[in-house]
Amino acid sequence: MVINRPPAQSELITKVNVTPIIDVALVLVIILLVTAPLLTVPDLPVDLPKAATREAEDERNVSITLGANGVLAVDEQRVEATQFQDVLGQRLADPRNDNVLVVLRADSSTPYLQVQKLLGEARAAGAKRLAIATRQKTEARP
């Protein structure tokens, strides 16, 4: 004896598949993490001096850039030497920049007296923590 059963009904898919959305979001976060440090540095060509150690790379910081030709920038904004202290003071007055690290990126051919003057002006503008950016020294291994 054969029993006729009604055909099995397929279940409706009522849930949204979020896996592709998560994949896209993670890729966008990775792209943001890679490109964000590049956006805060002006496009002044600077040949940084070499040093044995490099610290403070991952912290949030305010960048001062001094090119070989004397062009000066605070973060991505180019400024005149006469306006430097005012612009940096305004940047440091922002509550988000309380106790922020101020990094001076000076070309290796810049006289140290000029670097020292900029550090003094940065301190006078309200910078509490100062650093000088360097390139990692590569030593030849025997």
- Of 78, 54, 82, residue with least CA distance to 64: 78
pTM of this structure: 0.57
Tens-place pLDDT, residues 8-50: 667 777 788 889 999 999 999 999 888 877 666 666 677 766 6
Closest CA to 136 of 10, 80, 52, 60: 52
Q: Where are the domains of the chain?
A: 41-136
User: By CB neighbour count within 10 A (0-12 exposed, 13-18 middle, 19+ buried), where does 122 fall?
Assistant: buried
Summarised one tens digit per residue, pLDDT across range 43-85 is 667 776 666 555 545 457 888 888 888 888 888 888 888 898 8
